[in-house]
Amino acid sequence: MVKDIVKTIFSILHKYATFEISTQNDNYHLVRNAFKAVTVLVRNVKYYNLEEDQLKMLLLYAEEDCQNDEKQANSFSLLKAILEAKLVSTELHEVMQKISNICILSESAKSRDEARAIFVNYLSHYQPGKRLDKYIQFFVTQLNYELQHGRESSLKFIDMIINKLNPGQLKNHGDYLFLSLGACMINDSAPECRQAAAGCIEAILKKLPLLDRNKLFDLVLTFFKDTQPVHIE
């Protein structure tokens, strides 16, 4: 019975869920409810597994809809359900790349907050491996983003990821994060960003063991020694 229901849902999506569909379209609410139904299926019906092609299809729609303000809520709900179910697909990583961009570029604070939470859940539920280095580098780079809301969102992500990483993982990124956040704390024009950067630094120092904290302090001392002006007698 469930299989027949799922088949009908995907038939509706395949027929009516075009990328151009809008709230003015007669089939908009039909498509919206189909997405809600499949989200409930993924989240709650544990004994049914989506076929590989079905999951790819959902991720394709989610990738498009997450960039559309009218459809974003359904897309985010679906992605949350997929992540909680730990479903695996190559396309998922591509969708998460779009989500990381929304964290910074979206003009909506709500969209940035939801995208950031989804992205952190993605890193928590999966083993990102080398992708973790790439994503941390991406968000640290955004500390130089021209718009303040993007820099603030990046700092919120960094704070969330600092709290998610275990001390061993954090140690691997400690030097890079510490120096980048220090530069932000000193140079950012917005007091909110400077305060957030200081909070991230405090979170790093609280989480790392004493030996690793001392290494970071030594790094700072070395930096200041290297930047002292040379006086020639």
How far is Cα 179 from Cα 185, in angstroms, rounded to an integer? 10
Look at residue 230 and tell me whether its pLDDT is greater than 60. no
Q: Do 18 and 121 lie in a common domain?
A: yes
CATH, residue 98: 1.20.930
pLDDT at 106: 93
Last-in-domain residue among 95, 126, 157: 126
How far is Cα 139 from Cα 7, in angstroms, rounded to an integer? 40
pLDDT band at 126 (very low <50, low <70, confident <90, very high): confident
Look at residue 74 and tell me whether its pLDDT is greater than 60. yes
Query: Which residue's structure tokens are 């890193």?
Result: 123
Average pLDDT, the chain: 88
How far is Cα 162 from Cα 123, in angstroms, rounded to an integer? 12
Last-in-domain residue among 126, 161, 192: 126
Q: Do 47 and 93 lie in a common domain?
A: yes
pLDDT tens string 174-198: 999 999 999 999 999 999 999 999 9
pLDDT band at 231 (very low <50, low <70, confident <90, very high): very low
Range of the domain at 143: 129-224
pTM of the model: 0.83
Q: Do 35 and 61 lie in a common domain?
A: yes
Q: What is the 3-state secondary structure (H, E, C) of 134-196?
A: HHHHHHHHHHHCCCHHHHHHHHHHHHHHHHHCCHHHHHHHHHHHHHHHHHHHHHCCCHHHHHH
Last-in-domain residue among 126, 149, 177: 126
Q: Is residue 230 assigned to a domain?
A: no
For the chain, give percent helix, strand, coil, nearest 5: 75, 0, 25
From residue 143, alpha-carbon distances to 49, 75, 171, 208 in Å are 40, 27, 21, 23
Residue 186, Cα to own-chain centre: how many angstroms? 26
How far is Cα 165 from Cα 1, in angstroms, rounded to an integer? 42
Q: Do 109 and 10 lie in a common domain?
A: yes
Q: Do 104 and 169 lie in a common domain?
A: no
Domain count, the chain: 2
How far is Cα 219 from Cα 73, in angstroms, rounded to an integer? 44
Q: Is residue 233 assigned to a domain?
A: no
Residue 57 · residue 95 · CB < 8 Å? no
Q: Do 112 and 139 lie in a common domain?
A: no
What lies within 8 Å, CB to CB, of 130 at 6+ separation is none
pLDDT at 169: 87
Q: Do 30 and 142 lie in a common domain?
A: no
Q: Do 99 and 147 lie in a common domain?
A: no
Q: Do 14 and 92 lie in a common domain?
A: yes
What does the pLDDT average to over 104-129?
A: 89
Q: Is residue 37 assigned to a domain?
A: yes
Q: Is residue 117 assigned to a domain?
A: yes
Q: Do 134 and 119 lie in a common domain?
A: no
What lies within 8 Å, CB to CB, of 109 at 6+ separation is 149
Q: Do 100 and 185 lie in a common domain?
A: no
What lies within 8 Å, CB to CB, of 134 at 6+ separation is none
Q: Is residue 1 assigned to a domain?
A: yes
Q: Do 62 and 136 lie in a common domain?
A: no
